[in-house]
């Protein structure tokens, strides 16, 4: 049965003018993930990424480190949602809302915005959560159909996509999806298995390649 390894991109440049650029640590994380996937001896892995720079660059660094020779196919359905737009749209507007969130981290604010987006059936001015999640499911279905027997896949995507897909596979409520998104490690590996009864979640958020003397490479954002 085909294995599909979903890899979250390496750490982006949160403090830089352009967020969509891997940090130096992010580049090292991508290479570490590639070496880990090479150790697993995947079968003729089909390499896919979203079209965001941090996803494409992670995929290329991963492929170089893992010795994967096949071409990189890009599919925008694996792209992340725009977290800055979510924060702008769903940040608390009232003084009471600001007081309720005072002292909380950026991640807390993003969790708040993500949950508000999920519960918004209209999402004026932007894509709904339902459409975003449906795009992720369609990308996975198309990839699975293309693999056939005897071939595995590596997909470089982002935390929101991973949470959306895993939430669907596990039938999680919105709060569970937000919880998955919060703990996803940069350049971690989530593995799905595609069989006759459908696609199932085998492992989530594997990051043993950042243990021991590489623990300093472990990041969430």
pLDDT digits (tens, 9 = 90+) for 191-210: 999 987 889 999 999 999 99
For residue 107, the model assigns a pLDDT of: 82
In a domain, 143, yes or no: yes
Angle, helices 24-39/53-66, rounded to nearest 10 degrees: 50
In a domain, 62, yes or no: yes
For residue 193, the model assigns a pLDDT of: 94
For residue 92, the model assigns a pLDDT of: 67
For residue 41, the model assigns a pLDDT of: 96
pLDDT digits (tens, 9 = 90+) for 41-54: 999 999 999 999 99
Answer for the pair 154, 9: CB distance below 8 angstroms, yes or no. Answer: no
What is the pTM (predicted TM-score) of this model?
0.90
For residue 13, the model assigns a pLDDT of: 85
In which domain, by residue range, is 210 found?
Answer: 3-81+127-217
Answer for the pair 9, 54: CB distance below 8 angstroms, yes or no. Answer: yes
Answer for the pair 70, 46: CB distance below 8 angstroms, yes or no. Answer: yes
Tokens of 81: 């949602």
Residues 188, 220: Cα–Cα separation, whole Å: 10
In a domain, 41, yes or no: yes
Residues 69, 55: Cα–Cα separation, whole Å: 18
Q: Which residues sit opposite 72 in a β-bridge?
A: 47
In a domain, 115, yes or no: no
Residues 49, 170: Cα–Cα separation, whole Å: 23
What mean pLDDT comes out for the span 147-164?
93
What percentage of the chain carries pLDDT values higher than 90?
A: 74
pLDDT digits (tens, 9 = 90+) for 90-139: 876 544 444 444 445 778 889 999 999 999 988 767 789 999 999 999 99
Closest to 158 in 3D by CA, of 138, 121, 178, 188: 188
| Mean pLDDT, rounded, of the chain | 90
In a domain, 14, yes or no: yes
pLDDT digits (tens, 9 = 90+) for 74-95: 999 999 999 888 888 887 654 4
- The pLDDT-based confidence of 16 (bands split at 50, 70, 90) is low
Tokens of 87: 């924060």
For residue 73, the model assigns a pLDDT of: 97
In a domain, 31, yes or no: yes
Residues 164, 178: Cα–Cα separation, whole Å: 9
For residue 93, the model assigns a pLDDT of: 57
**CATH number of the domain to which 167 belongs:** 3.40.50.1240
Q: How many domains does the chain have?
A: 1
In a domain, 101, yes or no: no
In a domain, 173, yes or no: yes
What mean pLDDT comes out for the span 149-153?
89
């Amino acid at each position: 049965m085909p294995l599909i390894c979903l890899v979250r991109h390496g750490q982006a440049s949160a403090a830089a003018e352009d967020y969509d650029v891997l940090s130096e640590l992010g580049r090292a994380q991508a290479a570490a993930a590639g070496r880990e996937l090479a150790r697993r001896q995947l079968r003729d892995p089909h390499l896919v990424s979203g079209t965001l720079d941090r996803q494409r660059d992670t995929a290329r660094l991963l492929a170089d480190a893992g010795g994967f020779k096949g071409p990189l196919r890009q599919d925008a359905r694996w792209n992340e949602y725009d977290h800055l737009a979510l924060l702008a749209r769903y940040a608390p507007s009232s003084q009471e809302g600001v007081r309720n969130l005072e002292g909380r981290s950026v991640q807390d604010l993003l969790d708040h915005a993500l949950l508000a987006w999920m519960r918004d059936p209209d999402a004026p001015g932007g894509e709904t959560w339902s459409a975003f999640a449906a795009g992720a499911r369609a990308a996975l279905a198309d990839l699975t159909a293309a693999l056939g027997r005897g071939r595995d896949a590596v997909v470089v995507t982002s935390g929101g996509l991973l949470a959306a897909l895993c939430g669907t596979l596990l039938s999680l409520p919105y709060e569970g999806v937000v919880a998955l998104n919060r703990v996803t490690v940069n350049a971690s590996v989530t593995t799905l298995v595609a069989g006759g009864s459908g696609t199932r979640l085998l492992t989530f958020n594997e990051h043993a390649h950042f243990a021991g003397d590489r623990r300093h490479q472990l990041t969430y954002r």
